[in-house]
Structure 1
């Protein structure tokens, strides 16, 4: 704000707070120590560091004043701790600027929808910018109707977190601005994700099964719920002799003959391993690299069973990056097929390939081109030959980081969910059973949060609802975005709404025989496997599988 306040300012601010639905403050939780700043004064700074710096004054209960000021967490003194001084400190500027001069180190955004954590909302004041500024920390949900902000509001108050409605921001004539030197945080999943979008299946006998990797031992773990029974968990490395795995997450499957199984990569040598249990048999394991010549893998694998009963395992060759198919027909032996050499599928990068089977019998897989991030689809019609195409060139699909998920709904529409590697937006590229490809930005059009971590986990419910589960890059909240069969897209925050713990984005989803939608996620705080579920009649609930079933911590 201006260095000298006025009664007019106080009245205007009070009116704005009244419009906002009264800014509820959040109790400070003092911390014992703060990390040394990663940024330099007036230098590049990540959004997370901006919020950490802002939180420091909340924790210290720094009072609003225009002299003397206060120190930041590193001991640097800021001569004012008013609204603009607060922003200056959070941005790690060299001195406390005013509401007017903050414009000299930032630029105005197009709309509130462009805001990201660490940006500011500055009151326009007829172009004078002479009233008040707050630091934007995020929207409270996907509707973007309530903003969480950091603010130093007035004399007699201290730095605090507040909540302002979108209508209050509009009525108060706030404008969104972004610091010139802010940079997005680098987001990455664990080096060895132990839960992935193909991690959960419903077995032929109705068992709900999820495969994970034990953080302590690297052992393959299965957690399951028999029909009418209680949760159980077993160590398949002990039970079946499955090798310690590495790389990507386990990929599960159920064959037409009732065989339940999972594919992993051996941590010792990259060999592709299959662990399986016939419908009426015991668990066993075999080495597909030794036994059938499957190429060594980085562990990024996926599985698909088509209408003929053929089991397909798509993997990435860790030597040359080639996309590979190892497959077992319902009658016959295993074979290998190099999709890069034989079809022209680009060398891939990022996450596991995302496989699918369309209603017309077309088998396919979606990958990201390692050279340019283009979304690639490789497919084989039921009675045709393999082919490949570039969805980025051909239909405008955004470039991707390789974190992909697929679903085919009852109408036959093929949906490919991806994360835009430029801006982190959740995107849908889809092909109706009759018609051409289209793209739909879920972040722009629905409000799905910018995502992080693992691949989006797609699902189709029995009532025709299509959806996808992701993790919010800003805070790790578990997010669900969905479209009823005859409705519009919507999104909600399962962490806020249901209490699901924050996650690193490694998730899976599965639809039970009774229609229950189950979403599994890895808690980023403790590595526990969490189940969040929605019965066909009822409301969402969540449970910790470490306590419910004894599932070991995930790496």
Structure 2
């Protein structure tokens, strides 16, 4: 409980985000959905539940007062709604403690860098701890210079989210503390991934675009950054009439004529849906199952545009598991081609097919055989016919759970990143432009953590660096593994090094026209879309797109 009339830090966020020089703005925070509390009074509590409880008082606009107090989301009454009462409620304590007595149920951390969401910052006050306390919600940037906090600050104000610079925390002599009964959230992937490796693209006009699915409504959502503008988000189910989607993650594309689009599966009937926006037109949607006979899908889809301008949509038939191709040439109408029936591609399982186009014009797709987990490649040379081969039998690729990613670098090497279904190792199976296939175990040889969740998100930077982003199965940390064009493979932990929140492994990556590498991930604690990015000149940074753009929570 702070001393009445004491000076309270009221720090406004005045940061800039490196992407396109856009100024960071805080959008209205979506109201959280409040489930019955998972914790008991004074019991173990996850970090995500602490933040959910804190958000409830923000949404209820609970005023600062030292009596009477207010109820939590479950109806439990807390006798004070001052700063320490706020923390007590968020931690689900039995009563409203003071800034001093909060120390009885917590322990001091070594530094600000040890902070995790749900911890607190308590003003030292010469050891008296009798001024002010705030609840830490995370860092807004990779260099950890600005903290996002929940606070009840003073009379006449209400519970709110505020931003405090690291220098203000130091100057105010705040100390980091952790609740004795806090536990980290379990890392688990949602049954329906709402973000995938094909979720992000750079549009013809330079827009950086990411498609996701809203957890609350199932609506298709687009979050985008226009060149020289600020982040925005739109609901395409409302704007264009896109059906509520289910199954796998949205798969984006940009055609040679500048049309931007995304493919999903209708939750009601499995119909393959395409939502698109011509370069100078408006958003529209159509049903590829009704209109062109595309088979019903489980939503595990991917897209690819080849050198001729043909748009290819690879999907898995939800009736028989067949691999299917639905395609639109640059001039002509849509067609369907059953790769299992016509080429012999094995019935597939696991994640979405991973498509690619090689430098020589070969179009292809990689899948996992449902019968044995063998890695399968199905391909068509520019002037040839479709063929398929078993990379596990033929070149020793490890069996896979179907979580796959592909990349073609400047040398023409085709890289297939997969997860070994036996031991979870990250693996690379690659084909140079001249030479034969090889395998490289990234976990054994580089130290890439055993991964979990979604498919690996591969990338090639403008300087030729090849890499892949995954999630650590042990703790959900976002991991990047990379190889400079003339260097050796290396790996680093973006959660430890940059502050990216833990993730369930549903990630995407995209390279901006200015060379900025952007990695999007779904935070496993709160379902927020997070952007972690590396400019061509500069250092890594991270931001929460729920607050940066208003992107709804992902399912």
What TM-score do the two structures reach when normalised by structure 1?
0.69
Give CA-to-partner distance per residue, 1:529-549, whole Å, 9 cap, x none: 000000000000000000000
Displacement of 1:471 in angstroms is 0.3
2:364–2:380 CA contact under 8 A, matched in 1: yes
Instruction: Give the CA deviation at 1:189.
Output: 2.3
User: How far apart, CA to CA, are the structure 2 residues paired with 1:198 and 1:384?
Assistant: 26
Deviation string 1:245-285 (CA, Å, 9 cap, x unpaired) is: 00000000000000000000000000000000000000000
Encode CA deviations 1:337-374: one digit per residue, 9 max, x unaligned. 00000000000000000000000000000000000000
8 Å contact 2:23–2:230 — kept in the other structure? Answer: no
- Which deviates the most, 223-232 or 158-167? 158-167
Determine the C-alpha separation between the residues in 2 that align with 1:460 and 1:88.
47
Unaligned runs of 5+ in 2: none
Q: Distance in 2 between matches of 1:126 and 1:392?
A: 65
Deviation at 1:149, TM superposition (A): 30
User: Aligned residue for 1:139?
Assistant: 139
> Residues 390-433 of structure 1, C-alpha deviation per residue, up to 9 Å, x if partnerless?
00000000000000000000000000000000000000000000
Aligned residues: 555
Task: Specify the alignment match of 2:15 in structure 1.
Answer: 15
Shift in alpha-carbon separation, 1:53–1:360, aligned structure 2, 3 A: same
Deviations 1:167-211 (A, max 9, x none): 999999999999999999998621110000000000000000000
Is contact 1:22-1:164 (8 Å) kept? no
Deviations 1:302-345 (A, max 9, x none): 00000000000000000000000000000000000000000000
Asked whether the 8 Å contact 1:142–1:449 carries over to 2, the reply is no
Q: Which runs of 5+ in 1 are unaligned?
A: none
| Contact 1:20-1:168 within 8 A present in 2 as well | no
Once the two structures are overlaid, the 10-residue window that deviates more, 431-440 or 15-24, is 15-24
Aligned counterparts of 2:22 and 2:220: Cα–Cα separation in 1: 51
Q: Is the 8 A contact 1:150 1:160 kept in 2?
A: yes
Q: 1:72 to 1:284 in 2, by over 3 A?
A: closer
Give me the whole-angstrom Cα distance separating, in 1, the residues matched to 2:122 and 2:143. 22
- Confirm or deny: 8 A CA contact 2:322 2:348 kept in the other structure: yes
Shift in alpha-carbon separation, 1:124–1:462, aligned structure 2, 3 A: same
Report the CA distance shift for 1:269/1:3 in structure 2 as closer, same or farther (over 3 A). Answer: closer
Q: Distance in 1 between matches of 2:121 and 2:369?
A: 39
CA distance in 2 between counterparts of 1:164 and 1:415 reads 43
C-alpha separation in 2, matches of 1:458 and 1:117: 29
Deviation at 1:212, TM superposition (A): 0.2
Instruction: After TM superposition, give the deviation of residue 74 of structure 1 in Å.
Output: 26
User: Which deviates more from structure 2 when the two are superposed, residues 83-92 or residues 431-440?
Assistant: 83-92
The 1:358/1:78 distance shift into structure 2, 3 A limit, reads same
Q: Give the CA deviation at 1:24.
A: 36
Cα distance change, pair 458–153 in 1 and its aligned pair in 2 (3 A):
same
User: Residues of 1 paired with 2:533 and 2:6: CA distance?
Assistant: 53
Contact 2:476-2:505 at 8 Å conserved across structures: yes
Task: State how far apart, in whole Å, the 2-side matches of 1:242 and 1:12 are.
Answer: 38
Q: Deviations over 1:63-89 (max 9, x none)?
A: 999999999999999999999999999
TM-score of the aligned structures, taking structure 2 as reference length: 0.69
Work out whether residues 140 and 542 of structure 2, in 8 Å CA contact, stay in contact via their aligned partners in 1: no
C-alpha contact (below 8 Å) 1:117/1:474 kept by paired residues: no
Structure 2 Cα separation of the partners of residues 232 and 79 of structure 1? 40
Q: Is the 8 Å Cα contact of residues 83 and 152 (structure 1) preserved in structure 2?
A: yes
Measured after TM superposition, the shift of residue 104 of structure 1 is: 40
Worse-matched range after superposition: 50-59 or 289-298: 50-59
